[in-house]
Amino acid sequence: MAKNVAGIPIRRVSAEFSGDDAVDLEIIEVSLGLSRITRSKSERDTKLMQVALAALRKVIEQYRSESGERYPEFGDFAAWIGINTDGVPTMDEHHHASSDVAELQNNVEKTEGQDAVA
């Protein structure tokens, strides 16, 4: 349960990403331009979580309408969205990550070029 400060629920989320997940996170941040609209890492992380939660709510609603399950089990839901929960990457995950690294590098170069001009 979230703690309350002055009647407002507060929930701190902390996560550490490594490997392909860390690269995917960087790609998402660059794609959304979060570094251009935020002043700090904390603010960037907050905006990223706001977007992630909104997207997750939409995907859960889609899963509910397709499956008829009001409260999906984590494993079933994760499999439905294509996450392999046993820790062994699938062929698609390997391909996805390697192509995303090149995309991230291209986006970072474009962003750095824009910053240098501005």
> Residue 70 — pLDDT band, cuts 50, 70, 90?
very high
Residue 2 has pLDDT above 90, yes or no: no
Displacement of CA 32 from its chain's centroid (Å): 11
**For the chain, what is the mean pLDDT?**
80
What local confidence, expressed as pLDDT, does residue 111 receive?
46
> Residue 18 — pLDDT band, cuts 50, 70, 90?
very high
In angstroms, the Cα distances linking 9 to 2, 27, 38 are 6, 30, 23
Mean predicted confidence (pLDDT) in 57-76: 95
Does an H or E element contain 3, and which?
Answer: strand 3-5
Check if the beta carbon of residue 60 is closer than 8 Å to that of residue 78. Answer: no
What local confidence, expressed as pLDDT, does residue 114 receive?
45
Q: How many other C-beta atoms are found inside a 10 Å radius of the C-beta of residue 96? A: 14
Mean predicted confidence (pLDDT) in 87-104: 48
Q: How many other C-beta atoms are found inside a 10 Å radius of the C-beta of residue 104? A: 19
> Residue 116 — pLDDT band, cuts 50, 70, 90?
very low
Flag the least confident range among 38-42, 70-74, 87-91.
87-91
What local confidence, expressed as pLDDT, does residue 7 receive?
87
As to burial, measured by CB atoms within 10 angstroms (0-12 exposed, 13-18 middle, 19+ buried), residue 39 is exposed
